Structure 1
């Protein structure tokens, strides 16, 4: 894994944040969410979780939470 770049020379905090965001492991998911917002400047942050269980054994088949990453909807 490469070391994050030294961003002390970048003056704008917004640009620093964008550069740091681009170096995150889940950046592809972030770009997908931004693309899906289609220009919405005040997206709706959906919060919650869902669990799918096997009706016979009650074992968890799937679990999804909006905690990480957040789930954003268009305005």
Structure 2
């Protein structure tokens, strides 16, 4: 999964567009829910055991709207 949106009130922009891997979770501030359940971040899952095939994407521009940064994820096909 990749982080597609962050709330800048609680997370730095450096988390936007990152993979949800062990480094990501190690760097999260201690008061942030690691699953983003309080709206700190949102993610896009592009691969997994229940997927028929991986969803290809490339990272587009990052846009700030109110206090949220959104990362455009552009489909690339297979």
TM-score scaled by structure 2? Answer: 0.28
- Bigger CA radius of gyration: 1
